[in-house]
Structure 1
C-alpha cells in the first residue's frame, strides 16, 4: 500500500479502517518472515538429508569406523523422577534391554512421596543405581537434580577420560526406539560431537486428538527446525533423550544445568558456545506420554513458555560466544516468545473483526468477502507443508494424506493456544512466580495432587 493510498484510507474511511490495513499488512509481514525462516531451515534439512544418504552409501561400501580401540563409550542414563512409582519399573527395564555392560542407569529420586525408591531398590541388575534426594535439598527443580547426579558420575568415572563418558537424560515415562543405542553410539564416533538429541514422538497419539496435536508439534519441529539447525550449528537440546559427553558438561562448569524452568533449552544454547557440536538424530526417537487434558496442557506449556522467557539472560552469552548463522538463529529462538505475544494481539484483533462480520451478516448488512481466500492462505497455507512432513512419519500407521491435512488444519488452531500460554507465563514472570509444577501422568492425574517444587531461578 502506497503512502497516498494510506492517506486516502484515513480520509475516506477513518482511523479504524487505517488500523485495519496496518494490522493486515503487519500480519502478512510476520507470516512471510516466519515462513521464510521455516523454508530456510527446511532447505538446510533437505541438503543435510542428501548428504547423509550419500554418506550412508559410502559407509555400506566400506567397514564402519569403530570408536578408538581401548576406549569404549561409557553411557550413564540419568532418570530424574518425582512420584513415578506407576512407571519407573517398566521404564528402567526397557533401558536395560540393551545388554551392553558399558550402559548404566542412575535413577534420581527427587523427594518422592510414593514407592519410587523402593521399586528401584528391588531391581537386581548391577547396572542400576539410585540417588535419593531428600528435603530440604529435594524438589529444587530438574536442573538441580541433574547437577547432583552429574557430581556422582564425575566421581564414579574419575579414572576415565570424560570424552569417553556419555551422560544421557531420559524421563521416567520415556521409551527409546530399539535402534536408539546404535544411533547414539554412532553419532559420538565423531570426536567433535559433544551432544546428541534424539527425536520425540507421543506414545498415546492414537487415543486423543490433543495428544495427536502434540505429536505433530514434535514431528514438525524435529523434521524442519532441528534438521535445519544442524546446518546452522544451533541444534537445541530437549528434556528427554538428550546425550552429552561428560567433557562437554565439564566445559560448562560445576553445575551445567541451570535453575531455569527450561533447563534443557538453556543447556543447548550454552553447549553451542563451548566449541562442541550439538547433533540431532531423527532416525531414532524417544516415545513419551502426551497430555490429554487441556487444563494440564495449559499448565505444562505455561511453564515451558516462562522458561523460554527466562532465557533472556543468555542474550549476552549468545552475543559473545556464538557466531554467524548460529548466533542469528539462537537469537531468533530466544526472542520468538516475545514475537508470539505480539502476534497473539493480531489474532485477537482478527477474531473481533470476524465476530463483527458475523453479527453484521445476521443483521443483514452486506459484507465484502474478498479477503477470505487470502486470509485462509495466510493462516492455513503452512498446514499443507506440516501435513506433508507428518505424513512421511505417520503413513506407516495407516494415516492417509487427507487425514494428515485435516489434522494439520486443526494443528493451526491448536497453535493459537500459544497466546494463552504466553500471556499467562508473562504474568507469572512479572509477579515473580516461578514454582515448578510436575505434570502428572495420565493414569494418575485424576487422584494425584499437583506437586510443586520451590522457586526456580535462572
Structure 2
C-alpha cells in the first residue's frame, strides 16, 4: 500500500500550499494585468463609439481630401498564386470606378501567375514582374519597388489624393469597402486606414474558426480601442495609406522585417498623420487548416514582432502620451507572452501533483478550482457575446459561440509554442521563410488558359 511518504515533496500539504500560493499569485497578477489592458481598450472603444466614432484630431493642416476624387492603387504582392490571382483581381475590379487601379507584384513566380494577370482585359490592371536575383527578398522589398512605380505614375498628382492599398492575393473585400475607405480618407488628417479581417473558410475546420474568432474579437476590440489612443496598427492585408504619408517615411517606407506591416503602423504613428481602423468593412482571407502550417506562419509573425524591438528608440522619441504607452506595450508584449507561457506549465505540474496525491489518499482542497476556472474562462463569455453579434447572421447561436470561446482559451496557449520557436530562430539568426502554400483548389483558369473568361 502506498504511503504518504512516497509522494513527492510537492504534494505534502505544507510545501504544496506555499507553492500553490506563489503560483496562484503570479498567475492571478498576470491575468489581472491582461484583463485590465483589455478593459482599457474596450473602454476606449466604447468612449469613441459614444463620440460618433470620429477619429481623433491630429496636429498640422492638410488639403481637404474630399474636394477631389481619390486615386486608389491596390498593390497585390504574390508568389506562385495561379490558383487564386485571377478571381481575386476580378473581384477588386467589380468596382467600376476609373479612379481604382490594381498593380499585381509578381515576386518571381514559377507558375502561370504573370500570364493570368496579363490576360485580364481591363486597363486598370498592371503587372510588376520581379525576377531573380532581385525577387523573393521579402514582402517589404516588393512593396518598396511598387511604390516607386506609383510615385512615378502620379508624379503630377497631389500625393494626398493617392491612396496605396495592400491586399493579399487570396483576399477579397466587402463590396462596401470602397465607400468606407473614401469616407475615412475624407478626413484630411487620416494618413492610413486598416480594414477588418475575416477568415473566408471559417466553416472548414475548428482551427480556421479559431483564427476568425481571433480577428473578430481580439484584433477588432484592440484596434477600436487604439483609435482612441492614437496607436492603431497596420495589418499585412487591407492596409491603405496616403502616398504623402508613405513619403513621410522616406523613399523606402516598408522595412525588411518579417512583419513589415507591424513596423509600418508604428512608424506611421510617429508622423503627423493619424492611423484609423474601420471594422465595418473587412477583407476575407484564407485561414490555415493545418496545425503544422499554422505553427510555421505564426512563428514567423512572432519573430517579426520580436524584431520590432529595434523600434523602441523611435517610439520613445516620436510618440507621446497614450500612443507611446500603448505602442511600447505592443512592442514588448511578445516578451511578456513568453514569460506568461510558463504559467500554464507550472499550473499543469501542480495539478498533476495534486491528482497523484489525491489518488494516494492525501487530503486535497479543491477550493481553488472555481476561481481558477473564472480566471481562465470567465472572459470567454464576453468574447462569445462579441463574436456572436458578428456571426449570428450566419446561423451561429450564442451557446455555440460560448463553446468556441472555451476552445479558444486552449488555442491561445499555442502562442507559447510560436513564441519559443521564434525566439530560438531569432537567437541563431535564422529569418528566412518559405511562402505559406494556399489550400484553395487550383483555379480553372490556371489549368485551362484557353477557357479564361476575361483573357484574350
> Normalising to structure 1: TM-score of the pair?
0.90
Please identify, of 360-369 and 235-244, the stretch whose mean Cα deviation from structure 2 is larger: 360-369
Secondary structure of 1:279's match? strand
Equivalent of residue 156 in structure 2, options 159, 165, 179: 159
Q: SS of 2:433's equivalent? A: strand
Residue of structure 2 in register with 1:336 after alignment: 333
SS at 1:303 equivalent: helix
1:353-432 pair list within 5 angstroms? 353-432=350-429
**Match for residue 43 of structure 2?**
43
8 Å CA contact 2:233, 2:266 repeated in 1? yes
User: Is residue 24 from structure 1 mapped to residue 60 from structure 2 by the alignment?
Assistant: no
Distance 1:119 1:358 in 2: 61
Between the aligned partners of 2:289 and 2:389, the Cα distance in structure 1 is 24
Per the TM alignment, residue 444 of structure 1 is displaced from its structure 2 partner at its CA by: 6.3
Question: Is the CA contact (8 Å cut-off) linking 2:65 and 2:161 kept in structure 1?
Answer: no
Map 1:41-120 onto structure 2 (within 5 A).
Answer: 41-52=41-52, 67-69=65-67, 71-120=68-117
Match of 2:253 in 1: 256
Structure 2 counterparts to residues 227-376 of structure 1, below 5 A = 227-376=224-373
Q: Which residue of 1 aligns with 2:218?
A: 221
**Distance of 1:146 and 1:153 partners within structure 2:** 10
Q: What are the Cα deviations for residues 239-275 of structure 1, in whole angstroms up to 9, with x where unaligned? A: 0000000000000001100000000000000000011
The 8 Å contact of residues 45 and 223 in structure 1, kept in 2 or not, is answered as no
Q: Distance in 1 between matches of 2:406 and 2:34?
A: 17
Output the CA distance in 2 between the equivalents of 1:420 and 1:444.
Answer: 29
- Cα displacement (A) at 1:14: 5.9
8 Å Cα contact 1:141/1:436 also seen in 2: no
Alpha-carbon distance between aligned partners in 2 of 1:414 and 1:358, rounded to the nearest angstrom: 24
1:123-179 residue CA offsets vs partner (Å, 9 max, x unmatched): 110000000000111001100000010000000000001000000000000010000
1:34 aligns with 2:34: yes
Q: Give me the whole-angstrom Cα distance separating, in 1, the residues matched to 2:258 and 2:15.
A: 43
| Structure 1 unpaired stretches of 5+ | 1-9, 56-65, 446-458
**Ranges of 4+ aligned residues in structure 1 off by more than 6 Å:** none
3-state secondary structure, aligned to 2:434:
strand
Query: 1:415-454: CA deviations, max 9, x gaps?
Result: 0000000000000000100012211111369xxxxxxxxx
Point out where structure 2 has 5 or more consecutive residues left out of the alignment. 1-9, 55-63, 443-456
Deviation at 1:351, TM superposition (A): 1.1
Identify which of structures 1 and 2 has the higher relative contact order when contacts are C-alpha pairs closer than 8 Å and 6+ apart. Answer: 2
Report SS of the residue matched to 1:200.
strand
Match of 2:177 in 1: 180
How far residue 368 of structure 1 moved from its aligned partner, in angstroms, is 1.4
- SS of the counterpart of 2:39? helix
| CA RMSD, 1 decimal | 1.8
When the two structures are superposed, what TM-score results if normalisation uses the length of structure 2? 0.90
How many residues end up aligned between the 2 structures? 424
Work out the CA distance in 2 between the residues paired with 1:86 and 1:361.
Answer: 56
